[in-house]
Amino acid sequence: MTKTALVSVWDKNGLVPFAQALAAKNWRLVASGGTARTLCQAGLEVTAVSDVTRSPEILGGRVKTLHPVIHGGLLARDTADDAADLERVQAEPIDLVVCNLYPFRETIANPDVTLEEAIEQIDIGGVTMIRAAAKNFQRVTVLTDLADYDRVRAALETTGTTSLALRRRLAEKAFALTRDYDTAIAAYLTDQSDDAALNMRLYPIQQLRYGENPHQEAAYYGTQPGGGPLGGTLLQGKPLSYNNLLDLDAAWRAAISFKPPVAVVVKHVSPCGIAVAPRVEQAIRPAIASDPVSAFGSVIAANRPINAAFVRGLGDLFVECLVAPGFSAKAQTLLAAKVNARLLEVPLESPIADYELRSVVGGFLRQEVDAGDPADAPPWRVVTQRAPNQNEMAALRFAWQAVQPVKSNAVLLAKKEGGARFTVGVGGGQPNRVDCVRMAGRRAGERAEGSVLASDAFFPFPDGLEVAAELGVSAVVQPGGSVRDESVIAAADELGLAMVMTGLRHFRH
């Protein structure tokens, strides 16, 4: 008995060779619209869907395959009752469906798309055919992925049929396709109100050896199938670990938040050294010098391509990973000697989600990503008798940006020398802010003298400023907003510190 294939595809890549293979096996090809024209132009004999249904396409092509003859042929089982029903409506079994859908997601990716244009790319007949065929996978083969053409063709050429296991796997892919398609439509049409459901599709990228510790199972998922780490390409080194990926994410986010050339050194998901300079190779040494002990085994990010001079600036430092928008050929040659260092190339335009999720017991927290001071941020206010001088203000601007990716309670000491601005000590992740000031001071040592201090949140008491003054800090930037602001300002004046308040905080728990 001649078998029937129903073909209706938007993406016609690879279709003709597959259809030719079916025709060579005496399959009957049934197709509609543009698919039928493509097959006919290839010299294949095609039966129009309208000839099978004995009904013309209507509503400008919106209705073509929505007909009992089509869906009876798809859903019929190998039973006498179903065979009788097919005979009654003059339908025949359909054994294989080849279908992909209107490009809805690609259409709405255009920020200028109109609602009407988006609606016209909502596929109805294709989704219905796919679901019907997938439901009846015990008899019907459903092909929705171009990558499976060769697999199915090989099965048909070898045995003349597809196995139940293959049909089931193809049905799984078909239902995943329609699920994701409907999710995209719902997300587009749904007003993002407080009670809107959060839906996402993540694709397996890499099975990790383990998580934060060897006894924890872990895997890496991406928002796009077949993507690389952080949307980039691993150029050198063994596969990235769970902890590598966390540190790389922190380092890369910090690096791309700066416009001037920058080097960022991250250890345990928090920066321990950041420096900006006229050229990126001039930033690496001061970034490492901020905390050379913690820089051992760190992850380093740059927002400019890494060149040979940058690599030489690393000296003999052991680095777990380097991430940048590119690596010169000479840099890669030099880094090849650091056989345990991974090199990750990430385009600057690689998309970053505008929100982040964190799991808590019984659910998830969702928030917008802190991308720095918003455009409508309040102006800085000098609140002390002494205003920062020009050099101090430049250092404060840098320090305020550099403190934001540091784990709270974040305190950072920084300096400006010539065209470079850099951290000299970083403290964070402690239960109280005074300890973080002391931590930053210990790491800075003598370099704390004449530095400026940035704090991600307000000082609730004068004690933090008192410790800063003992270290030799000359100016402070902090959000303000404490009920004790007046006493903190008075302490700054008494200590001879210049202080500005930003009106914004940047906690990072």
From 268, 330, 338, 415, the catalytic residue: 268
DSSP 69-122: HHHHHHH--SSHHHHHHHHHTT-----EEEE----HHHHHTSTT--HHHHHHT-
Whether the Cβ atoms of residue 404 and residue 257 lie closer than 8 Å to each other = yes
Whether the Cβ atoms of residue 371 and residue 497 lie closer than 8 Å to each other = no
Short-list 440, 390, 504, CA closest to 274: 440
**71-76 own/partner pairs: CB under 8 Å, 24+ apart:** 71/128, 71/129, 71/132, 73/4, 73/6, 74/6, 74/129, 74/132, 74/133, 74/136, 74/140, 75/132, 75/135, 75/136, 76/136, 76/139
DSSP 16-45: HHHHHHHHHTTPEEEE-HHHHHHHHHTT--
DSSP 158-223: HHSS--HHHHHHHHHHHHHHHHHHHHHHHHHHS---TT-------EEEEEES-SSSTTS-EEEEES
Helices (H), 379-501: 390-403, 433-444, 463-471, 485-495
The sheet with strand 420-427 has its strands ordered as 233-236, 342-345, 319-324, 298-302, 262-267, 270-276, 420-427, 411-417, 452-455, 475-478, 498-501, 381-382
Short-list 263, 264, 215, 223, CA closest to 242: 215
Side chain identity, residue 167: R
The DSSP code for 404 is T
Output phi, psi for 263, to 5 deg. -120, 135
Q: How far apart are CA 248 and CA 230, in angstroms?
A: 8
Q: Known catalytic residue: 215? A: no
Rounded to the nearest 10°, the torsion over CA 350, 273, 434, 269 is 40
From 3, 12, 71, 135, the catalytic residue: 135
Q: How many of the other CB atoms lie within 10 Å of CB of 165? A: 8
Q: How many of the other CB atoms lie within 10 Å of CB of 401? A: 23
Q: How many of the other CB atoms lie within 10 Å of CB of 186? A: 12
Helices and strands (DSSP H and E) totals, the chain: 19, 21
Q: What positions carry a catalytic annotation?
A: 135, 268
